[in-house]
Amino acid sequence: MFLLFEDEKVTFDQFNENANRVANALLARGIKKGSKIAVMLPNCPDFLYLWFGIAKMGGVMVPINVDWKGELLQYILNNSDAEMVVVGELLFPQIQEVLGDTPGILNIYVRGEVTGTKTTHPLDELFCASSEDPKVALTPEDPYEIMYTSGTTGRSKGVVRWPEYVILRGLRTVQYMGYTSQDTLYTCLPLFHGNAQNLTVMPALLANARLALGVRFSASGFWNEIRRYGATVFNFVGTIVSILSKQEPKPDDADNPVRLARGGNIPPKKWKDFEKRFNLYLVETYGTTEGGSIWNTPGGKVGSMGRAPYFNEARIIDEEGHELAPGKVGELIIRPRDPNEKWLEYYKDPEATSQKVREGWFYTGDLVYRDEEGWFFFVGRKKDVIRRRGENISPQEVEIVINTHPKVLESVCFGVPSELGEDDVKVCVVPKSGIQMAFEEIISFCQERMAYFMVPRYVEFCESLPKTPTERVEKFKLQAAHPNENTWDREKGIKLQTPHI
């Protein structure tokens, strides 16, 4: 058995046959090698069959974030040169809205009820072709996917991906994590994102293991789904660990089949408590959509994202490009030890590619430091760093402190313009359900636990934080909404009024 999804169980042979059907159906419809096909689906087996089927016939999948709509969706479809869209029934209105401004889209296949024009077809049509191998000649230079960056720090760019590299990443994951055919790898992270693709789907396939697929993350249902599938491994992003750790303890928390959980941005103060409570190992690693990684193994140093693996070189540099000594914070740059290993190309954007890759080094834009033993520690995004009163502030370090408050579920920190120039610090805080908090509680808590220049000037309480489906907080939305009537100004001791323009 390979794929587990709700009540479905799919063998390796059935999975391959479904991918072949997609490939042969696309070829029969005149879709040619190199054609771009946008896939806008929630987590489901059909997404996987499309991914591998498109690759088998030489096409290029463009995975689409299910929350994209309007101008951004229009931009992605046009920039990627997509000529076909596969979309879920409930997401179809988002595609309809931009069809008039996406002339390259020739056909739409809908998973579910079909409405629309003569160019709209039921997705089931793509599963009626032969299950035999399409036997299309492919080379290592043929891309299989263009994955767009999240765009949380700028305009989304299409990252071109090749089969050879994604297979290498999968094999290295199996090697470092020690996955075997006895494992069941679970993910509830979206398949249109690299985390689910690179860290769960490909390793499960290459380890001859089982892949358990959840539709989405649910704090209340997470462990029940883990037990239902018998999952031994799951991947996460940092907010998932924080949210799970803040659920009310249950007597059976440790009674689960998981041996290993892998992800990034684990709150250091929650690390050991989480491991003990749920009877598993946490492993923090680092990677980017574009390529390059820092790896850890079970039992690695708490708070660290790992060391440079044998197949990568990693350095930390200052603004002038000089390598920094241990303990100094700077930008992380990475390159493969094998110069023939191809990582990064932004689709139709050679200028952006050359800015990111210089002399073989990939400039991550992330601020880190390493200790004397070579362990790397994440500090924050270079562009996220807040400059206040001549001091550089890592938003993540402010969030780590606030998130330890017993009344806080989660928080996000970011810079807003100061009337004195540079930035002031603002935090948006989500209290735990049913809990009332005063603004002063946050300030006094921070004043006791962080440098004076890090203490937020502005505090806003929120019911929830805007996030991408991969649980990344969309800070730009919160920044755009500042100031507002819910924002409290510590220096003035009042709530702000939204300016009238």
CATH number for the domain that contains residue 22: 3.40.50.980
Q: What is the pLDDT of residues 407-418, one digit of tens each?
A: 999 999 999 988
pLDDT tens digits, one per residue of 191-238: 998 999 999 999 999 999 999 999 999 999 999 999 999 999 999 976
431 prior amide bond cis, ω within 30: no
Specify the CATH number for the domain of residue 345. 2.30.38.10
Nearest to 229 by CA among 251, 206, 209: 209
User: Is 368 found in the same domain as 262?
Assistant: no
Percent of the chain with pLDDT over 90: 70
- At 458, phi and psi to the nearest 5? -110, 140
Please check whether residue 170 lies inside any domain of the structure.
no
Shared-domain flag, residues 289 and 275:
no
Domain end (from 382, 411, 436): 382
Domain encompassing residue 57:
12-138
Q: Which residue has better confidence, 472 or 249? A: 249
**What is the four-CA torsion angle of 76, 82, 83, 84, rounded to 10 degrees?**
-80
Of 367, 382, 397, the position where a domain reaches its end is 382
Decide: 261 and 237 in contact? Cβ < 8 Å: no
Decide which of 284, 310, 341 is a domain's last residue: 284
Pairing of strands 8-10, 36-40: unpaired
- Residues 207 and 294 occupy one common structural domain: no
Predicted pLDDT of residue 496: 56
Q: Residue 247: inside a domain, yes or no?
A: yes
Helices (H), 178-335: 194-196, 202-206, 222-229, 238-245, 268-278
Q: Per-residue pLDDT for 116 more than 70? A: no
Domain membership flag for residue 153: no
126 in the same domain as 27: yes
pLDDT band at 500 (very low <50, low <70, confident <90, very high): very low
Under 8 Å CB-to-CB from 317, ≥6 apart: which residues? 323, 324, 330, 331, 333
Amino acid at 483: P
Specify whether 55 is located in the same domain as 119.
yes
Among 102, 55, 82, 80, which Cα is nearest to 160's?
A: 80
Same domain, 292 and 273: no
Better-predicted residue by pLDDT, 21 or 243 = 21
Instruction: Look at residue 396 in the predicted model and tell me its pLDDT.
Output: 81
pLDDT digits (tens, 9 = 90+) for 231-265: 999 999 767 888 899 899 999 999 999 999 999 87
End-to-end CA distance of the chain: 61
Average pLDDT rounded to a whole number, residues 483-496 = 84
Quick check: is 501 in a domain? Answer: no
Phi, psi of 82 (to 5 degrees): -65, 135
Tell whether 488 is covered by a domain: yes
Q: Is the distance from CB of 10 to CB of 45 less than 8 angstroms?
A: yes
With cut-offs at 50, 70 and 90, classify the pLDDT of residue 501: very low
pLDDT tens digits, one per residue of 373-397? 999 998 877 777 787 876 778 788 7
Burial 448-458 (b: 16+ CB within 10 A, else e): eebeeebbbbb
Higher pLDDT, 88 or 468: 88
Q: Which residue shows structure tokens 């806080």?
A: 408
352 and 391 belong to one structural domain: no
Q: pLDDT above 70 covers what percent of the chain?
A: 95
Triad 35, 38, 40: Cα angle to 5°: 165
Could you give the 3-state DSSP secondary structure of residue 215?
Answer: coil
Q: Give the separation between CA 409 and CA 247, rounded to whole angstroms.
A: 10
The answer as to whether 451 is a domain residue is yes
Q: Could you tell me if residue 81 is inside a domain? A: yes
Decide if 65 contacts 41 (C-beta within 8 A): no
Structural domains of the chain, count: 4
Lookup result for tokens 């190992």: 281
* Same-domain check for residues 259 and 188: yes
Domain identity same for 356 and 446: no
Q: Cβ neighbours of residue 451 under 8 Å, at least 6 residues apart?
A: 391
Question: Quick one: which of 58, 65, 57, 51 has its CA closest to 15?
Answer: 51
Task: Indicate whether 114 pLDDT > 80.
Answer: no
Tell me, yes or no, whether 146 lies in a domain.
Answer: no
- Output 394 or 438, whichever has higher pLDDT: 438
Residues 119 and 28 in one domain: yes
- Contact, 388 vs 453, CB < 8 A? yes
Q: Which of 492, 402, 407 is nearest to 447 (CA)?
A: 402
Res 405 pLDDT > 50: yes
At 118 the pLDDT is: 65
CB of 253 closer than 8 Å to CB of 227: no
User: In terms of domains, do 131 and 22 share one?
Assistant: yes
CATH of the domain at 489: 3.30.300.30
pLDDT of residue 151: 46
- Residue 291 confidence (pLDDT) above 90: no
Residue 17 pLDDT grade (very low, low, confident, very high; cuts 50, 70, 90)? very high
Q: Name the strands in the sheet holding 210-213, side by side, starting at the edge strand that comes first in the sequence.
A: 8-10, 3-5, 210-213, 184-187, 233-236, 260-263, 281-284
Task: Examine the domain organization and report whether 221 and 293 are in the same domain.
Answer: no
Is residue 96 very low, low, confident or very high in pLDDT (cuts 50, 70, 90)? very high
Backbone angles phi, psi at 277, to 5 degrees: -60, -40
Band of pLDDT at residue 152, cut at 50, 70 and 90: very low
Higher pLDDT, 108 or 341: 108
Token output for 39: 């896939």
pTM recorded for the entire structure? 0.82
Residue 353 near residue 345, CB atoms below 8 Å: yes
pLDDT exceeds 70 at position 154: no
Task: Give the start-end residues of each E strand in 233-323.
Answer: 233-236, 260-263, 281-284, 286-287, 293-294, 312-317
Rounded Cα distance, 455 and 448, in Å = 10
Residue 7 pLDDT level (bands cut at 50, 70, 90): very high
